[in-house]
Amino acid sequence: MFVSLVALVAILPVFVNAQSPVYGQCGGKRFQALVGCSAGPTTCAAGSTCTYSNPYYSQCLPGGGTTKTTTTTPVTGPTSTPHTTSTAPGGSQTPDAGNPFLGHNIYLTPFYAAEVAAAAANLTGTTQTKALSVAKIPTFTWFDTVAKVPSLGTYLADASAQGKASGTPMIVEIIVYDLPDRDCAAAASNGEFSIANNGQANYFNYIDQLVAQIKQYPDVRVIAIIEPDSLANLVTNLNVSKCANAQTTYLACVTYAIQQLNKLGNVYSYLDAGHAGWLGWPANLSPAAQLFTSLYKNAGSPSFVRGLATNVANYNSFSTNSPDPITQGNANYDELHYINALAPVLQSAGFPSHFIVDQGRSGVQNIRQQWGDWCNVKGAGFGTRPTTNTGVSLVDAFVWAKPGGECDGTSNTSAARYDYHCGLSDADQPAPEAGTWFQEYFVTLVNNANPPL
């Protein structure tokens, strides 16, 4: 069975007051400047809790009932004590020859299940029923700050216990996402590390912490997507000074990540490869393949690097007979065409050409004004459920890499991480900070899901 169900776990911290409304901001760096006063509301309306999401944003989410002042303590998962020591042997140093998703159940991260449960509690009727079903669909967990890393150990311990109880080993899906000067051609996803401030060493330490958590649970398989947007930016955006300045560091950091994860023997990695509307243009295919291959070989051709992930957090169809008008001029107008065009170039260069494709928000097409519009696109819907039945030998699985309902970026033009894409006419507004819960958008994804929930 491809999906393993877990109980919804109420893991949101209990910080509540009556100042900031439900789904409003209640903390984060530069919060005073954003609200334009001496102090922003640091407590939440009754019935909601102030929940840390990232250093820039804490958000009032439904749940809880006591009044406390907010803190910046990160959510680290269920309250059970994490496993800290293990005498179990390490994972196999020989990767499975076939699809790494097969023969395993996929762990449902309690944090996302709790977000969905809190969102559904504010809905009624069939919409509520559909919303609750989303908690039973596996999504990747984004480790976009060091503060979130300890929760990985909690999830792995839970997954290990579930696997032993069921007799079927588990997969935990993660996204490694904390490069210094991250997302160099955008603003909404800027991270906690900067190259100028010890960023590379900080990133190496972040990877070491991930490795330390995973190493304790060799019986749990981890599927990792490595650094969305990073390598693709090095193909097309070196004219942006921040990207040009980050090139050497990006390559060093991604190399370190795949090398260290490869040593564990239970982590299968997919490097992020943008999407059809980015690297899928014919002129970008060879440069992209050259970059992936050179990095892979310079890292020692890590045996557990399985291939590439495409369409992460994007909206492209996997396969369509009716190209979206915005794709005009590109023969690779969907992810399948992109993969079929890129794979032979990778194969000839010696890179493993296996793919996973994010279809989490691809249920509705022809909704963007430009192919490059990526921020909270109006009218989107949940797409094809995660499955290994892709019908294409090159594609290991369709996945939901982006947890639907977590925002792409804020529409607040005065915010430190405002990106103009989030203010375009096809971007849903008003929108909170990237990574925080966007209730109205989640409801849109539920109602527009294709196939229906």
Over residues 25-34, the pLDDT tens digits come to: 677 654 433 3
pLDDT at 441: 98
Mean residue pLDDT of the chain comes to 87
Q: At residue 429, what are phi and psi to the nearest 5 degrees? A: -140, 155
The pLDDT confidence band at residue 47, using thresholds 50, 70 and 90, is confident
Q: Is 354 annotated as a binding residue?
A: no
Residue 374 labelled as part of a binding site = yes
**284-310: per-residue pLDDT in tens?**
999 999 999 999 999 999 999 999 999
* pLDDT, average across residues 149-170: 98
Is 130 part of any known ligand binding site? Answer: no
pLDDT value for 18: 46
pLDDT tens-digit series, residues 275-289: 999 999 999 999 999
Structure tokens at 430: 């008003």
Give the confidence band of 217 by pLDDT, cuts at 50, 70, 90: very high
Percent of the chain exceeding pLDDT 90 equals 76
Give the pLDDT band (50/70/90) at residue 362.
very high
Asked if the model's pLDDT at residue 75 lies above 80, the reply is no
Annotated ligand binding at 402? The verdict is yes
What are 52's two structure tokens?
A: 């840390």
HEC-encoded secondary structure of 104-172: CEECCCHHHHHHHHHHHCCCCHHHHHHHHHHCCCCCCEEECCHHHHHHHHHHHHHHHHHHHHHCCCEEE
CA distance linking residue 425 with residue 288, whole number of Å? 31
Concatenated DSSP letters for 288-308? HHHHHHHHHHHTT--TTEEEE
The band of 44, judged by pLDDT with boundaries at 50, 70 and 90, is confident
Whether the per-residue pLDDT at 92 is higher than 80: the answer is: no
444: region left, alpha or beta (phi > 0 left; psi from -120 to 50 alpha)? alpha
Measured CA distances, 362 to 49, 312, 356 (Å): 31, 11, 14
250 vs 413: CA distance, rounded Å: 28
Is 96 marked within a binding site? no
Task: Report whether pLDDT(35) > 70.
Answer: no
pLDDT at position 203: 98
Any idea which residues carry the catalytic annotation?
229, 408
Residue 174 pLDDT > 60, yes or no?
yes
pLDDT at 208 over 90: yes
Residue 109 in contact with residue 141, Cβ under 8 Å?
yes
- Give the pair of three-digit tokens for residue 43: 């407590």
Average pLDDT for residues 394-419, to the nearest whole number? 96
The dihedral built from the CA positions of residue 54, 173, 349 and 330, taken in this order, carries a sign that is negative
pTM, two decimal places = 0.83
Give the model's pLDDT for residue 14.
31
Name all domains of the chain by residue range, CATH numbers in brackets.
105-447 (3.20.20.40)
Answer whether residue 364 shows pLDDT above 80. yes
**What is the rounded CA–CA span in Å between residue 174 and residue 185?**
23
**Integer Rg of the chain from CA:** 21
Name the band, by pLDDT with cuts 50, 70 and 90, for residue 49: confident
Alpha carbon distance 199, 205 (integer Å)? 10
Within 10 angstroms of residue 241's Cβ, the number of other Cβ atoms is 9
Q: Was 406 annotated as part of a binding site? A: yes
Of the two residues 311 and 95, the one the predictor is more confident about is 311
As to burial, measured by CB atoms within 10 angstroms (0-12 exposed, 13-18 middle, 19+ buried), residue 214 is buried
pLDDT (average), residues 105-133? 97
